[in-house]
Amino acid sequence: MRRLFSVMMLLAVAMSAMAAKPKFEIKHVEPLSWWVGMNTPLQLMINGEGISAYDVSIAPEDCGVAVAAVHKADSPNYLFVDVAIAEEAKAGTYTLCFSDGKRKYEYEYVIAERAEGSRERQSFTTADFVYLIMPDRFANGNPANDSTSDTAEKAVRSNPGRRHGGDLEGMIAHLDYIADLGATAVWSTPLLLDNENGASYHGYSCSDYYLIDPRFGSNELFKTYVEACHNYGLKVIMDVVPNHSSTSHWWYADQPFKDWTHQWDKYTQSNWTFSTNMDFNASKADLYQMESGWFDRSMADMNLDNPFLLHYFKQWAVWWVEYSGLDGFRVDTYPYNEKGPMSQWCEAVMAEYPNFNIVGEVWTSSIPQLAYWQGGNANKDGFDSHLKSIMDFPLHDALRAAMTESGSHVAWGQGMTRVYDVLSHDFVYHDLSNMMIMAANHDTDRIGDVCEGDSRKMKIVHTLLATMRGMPQMLYGDELMFRSTDRTKGHPTLRVDFPGGWEGDEVNLFDASQHIGSQKDVYDHTRKLMTWRKNKDVIHNGKTMHFIDRNNTYAFFRYNDSEVVFVFINNTDAVMPVPWSRYAEIAAGLDVGTNVLTDQSITMTGAKVEPMSSLVVEFIR
């Protein structure tokens, strides 16, 4: 009996020891895969219970792929492993081998062959017209994924602040519509997993940087989407958010390092004052709160001063380009990132893809502050962001204000003079071709609301977007003068569903035959100009000459050695004669041209422009 009792005690102790030591499991290895021949060094972030106690090697040995260094984190559940990939290394499946001296575990890791020409890929340029989609509100191609068991928020289409069900399949199904409008690039708001309990449809609170939200589709479907876009001649711009992640991100409860995200004794929000980056008089305390304060209680502010996090984001960006075939990035809330590390991030992406383009959201009405953020700008503090493109919010503001100040009697400096004034500051910018111009996006009031449903004003706005310097960007539905459902309720109601994108919709506006009245008028005008713009180098790369008037009209020329395009905006309620002789310094000898909107010949001497309308005329020198 004593012997049996002793055996049972030994078994109990053994079972207790086994229970105390959890089963080893590798939960995450990121990046998910890699490629031979890359410029970016590979550093694996490996997450698993107690993994810091394990040694790591790679099999087979002597294959050109080996562990160069292993770094432990503050949390025992992470390892950061530098992997050396020799030039002669072959693509294939390699084995990560883990051992603590007693136990051994293996994990297969793929290092693939790069696509031919990947490094030389081209990106979006001033020749492109960018169409902005909010995926959840564009089209529902697969109702079965509107709500999923592994995500928190469920779809409620009747609620403007909840998910409505738009997805990648819906986007793919309507690429023909986008291409036919004249667009050559598509930017969608984030598609990565956002697993917040509410308002997750916008995607700006990322819960997994390597996973497409299952309510939109899958990683593989995103690759299919990119390929489909390319088949329609559309470049793909991915919206990325390195400044903050969601508190629902899998790493948030167990962060690799204590300074992985910015920590405060109590919740502290950013002061939103990114002028502290270039303000010689700014206090360090204000700059720190701007960079390190959180955007929202559910958006943990990432600390890019941590070198492991910075490298994580560098190779994450490269991974998505290489994996899916992307053509560009749009970076959200750009100035709220630590500017030094973000400059390195841009440099790293460009080092991998020299022809790549990245546009940053720098939301300011200050022209000097905006210019500061464009790479190559001659900043007094010597800072270079290496950010190639910037979003032209000063022009955005001027366009919108001018449309609220139409008519023949405006105060000094109002109306179209605002647009003239913004362009008069172009000397401040380093590269005018790499400026994204827009009248609205997913965060601003609908331009249809600003124009109060006046199709004449909408057409003026789209004439300007099609003919001014920079890269035009248009929010989905603005070509049809979409309006918010209830402006008093903020962003959710301007992010309206595209009629026809859901089964059972009474109207299908993806079908041009169903466009009627003012919507048709705006659509036809926009399509005509944006299609014409595609092959006009004089618009893409030409110079600008404009003329000041205080009567709420605006005239400018886009020109090069062989072509001239004349644009006249009449923002008044009267017929306005074109003062052609006033433009003699550039217009001499250019009396007869082609009206771009009608395709008819037009004689400029004596030409008149109807109230609240625009004239676009092209000439061959």
- Calpha distance 527→512 (Å, rounded): 11
What does each C-alpha distance from 364 to 19, 186, 536 come to in angstroms? 57, 24, 30
DSSP string, 448-476: HHHTTT-HHHHHHHHHHHHHSSSEEEEET
Report residue 392 as tokens: 């032209």
**What does DSSP assign to residue 378?**
-
**What does DSSP assign to residue 24?**
P
DSSP string, 318-374: HHHHHHHT--EEEETTGGGS-HHHHHHHHHHHHHH-TT-EEEE----S-HHHHHHTS
361 as an active site residue: the answer is yes
Contacts with 210 (C-beta within 8 Å, 6 or more apart), sequence order? 30, 31, 32, 219, 316, 319
Q: Which of 332, 338, 392, 478 is catalytic?
A: 332
- Calpha distance 443→425 (Å, rounded): 25
Contacts with 339 (C-beta within 8 Å, 6 or more apart), sequence order? 277, 383, 385
- Calpha distance 512→489 (Å, rounded): 30
- Calpha distance 438→193 (Å, rounded): 27
Residue type, 207: S
356: which strand partners? none
Contacts with 62 (C-beta within 8 Å, 6 or more apart), sequence order? none
- Calpha distance 344→226 (Å, rounded): 27
Quickly tell me which residue has 């009031």 as its tokens: 445
State the Cα angle at 156 between 150 and 160, rounded to 5°: 120
Residue 368 in contact with residue 428, Cβ under 8 Å? yes
Quickly tell me which residue has 């990947």 as its tokens: 118
Contacts with 351 (C-beta within 8 Å, 6 or more apart), sequence order? 39, 40
**For residue 412, how many other CB atoms are within 10 A of its CB?**
7
Report residue 581 as tokens: 């002789």
3-state secondary structure at position 286: helix
Among 370, 361, 359, residue whose Cα is nearest residue 425? 370
Quickly tell me which residue has 């179209």 as its tokens: 416
Q: Which of 194, 361, 405, 497 is catalytic?
A: 361
- Calpha distance 49→27 (Å, rounded): 8
Among 614, 517, 608, residue whose Cα is nearest residue 570? 614
Contacts with 51 (C-beta within 8 Å, 6 or more apart), sequence order? 24, 26, 76, 77, 78, 79, 98
**For residue 492, how many other CB atoms are within 10 A of its CB?**
19
**For residue 513, how many other CB atoms are within 10 A of its CB?**
7
459: which strand partners? none
332 as an active site residue: the answer is yes
Sign of the torsion angle spanned by Cα atoms 215, 138, 155, 253: positive
Task: Just list the catalytic residues.
Answer: 332, 361
